Structures are given as C-alpha cells and as structure tokens.
A and B are shown apart, each in its own frame.
Chain A
C-alpha cells in the first residue's frame, strides 16, 4: 500500500525541540520531492519545507528558517523535520507530503502528527 506515516509529535515546552519522522512505503521514495505542511488548531494549511529527491535542495518558509531542518534518508525511505526553538505558534498538526513530479503539488498525504508547544 502506498502510504506515508508520521511520528514523533508530542507535547514540548517553549524553546524545546522535536524530531518528526515520516516513513514512506509502497513507492520509490528516492524518486520524489517531499514536503512538510502544517495546520494550526482551527487554521488553514501552511507549507513548511520541502526537499529534493537527493537532498541537495531544501526550501523553508521564512517563519521556520534557522530553527527547522528538513532531511531525508533514501536508504530508510524516510524524511525528517528537526524542529528547534519551538514556540506556541508552532503548535500544529504536521503532515508529511509527497509531490507529483517536480511540481510542488501534493499528491499523497500522511495522516499527520500533532506537535503541541506549551508549558
């Protein structure tokens, strides 16, 4: 089955860190751009970051630059998001997403993992 499964979310204090993981299965992971998209409580969708097939290109939304780092391990069919210096504004469900071809259109979504930043 073609799927993406996120893990690593949880409750973290302001200023803390979390590493989110996304495990891919059912397709050739190394052939796809991948991305993280988040959704705050009661809010819309927000693109966070994406990464090229070989990891050589990474892009970030300004609000997370310098705090978050996207990476991937094609041998493990996995993508990661290291989140540092977290604040309440980072509280959200984080979705792992696969792009269709080389366009940043998502054709496959994970179920999401919740990150809650609170003291």
Chain B
C-alpha cells in the first residue's frame, strides 16, 4: 500500500498568512494526487486534482504542486473560512489512500 504522510499535522496561522502543507508518498504516484478541505461536522470539499489543477469554484488563492513523491498545497493569503483540516489522497494505485490530515488553526 502507498502511505501518504502529511506535514505538519497541525499548524497555527493568521489571516493573510501564506501557508504551505506538504504531502509525501511512500512511492512515486506521478501526479495522481488530490487535496480536500474538511470543516468540523461537514463533508469534505474537493480542492485540487492531478496535483495542481484547481477544482471548479475553488478560490485561486489555493494552489498545488509536485509530482512523483513530494507534493504541496499552498494557500497564498489565508481567509477566515480557510481554517479547517486538509487531506491529500493518492489515486495512482489501489488501495486508494489518504494522508492523516493537517489541521489549520487560527493563531
């Protein structure tokens, strides 16, 4: 199974900050990686697919990059509604696996 490891596990930041979350795959997954945002007691929301393509309707302050084993999700200027937990997910091979999540909190 491909293990997905996110860092950090939690992060405190302020509105307006630039934030980067990292996701590392235990083996190469090409660009077959997605990012999701989840707020407490809510369903996840899809943000980015194919490592760097923005899901329709997602603000342009979100961006993704990477290929192979190392990937990043960047939020260029944090907004109050961005405080949530973020998950990466690989879909290169079965079983499909998620990272453990990164909790983004208000400083």
Chain B nearest Cβ from A29, distance in angstroms: 18
Of the candidates A37, A59, A100, A105, which one forms a contact with B94 in the assembled complex, judged by CB atoms under 8 Å apart?
A59
Query: In terms of DSSP, what is the predominant structure of the interface of chain B?
Result: loop
In whole angstroms, what is the CA distance A36 to B34 when docked? 16
> Do A45 and B44 have beta carbons less than 8 Å apart?
yes
The interface size bin for chain A is 20 to 34
Cα A100 to Cα B46 in complex, Å, equals 11
Q: Which of A94-119 contact B (CB under 8 A)?
A: 95, 100, 103-112
A111-B98 contact given A44-B87, A105-B34, A105-B49, CB 8 Å threshold = no
Contact yes or no, A107 B49, CB < 8 A: yes
- B19: CB under 8 A from chain A? no
What separation, in Å, do the CA atoms of A107 and B34 have in the docked complex?
10
Which A residues contact B (CB, under 8 angstroms)? 37, 44-47, 50, 59, 61-62, 95, 100, 103-112
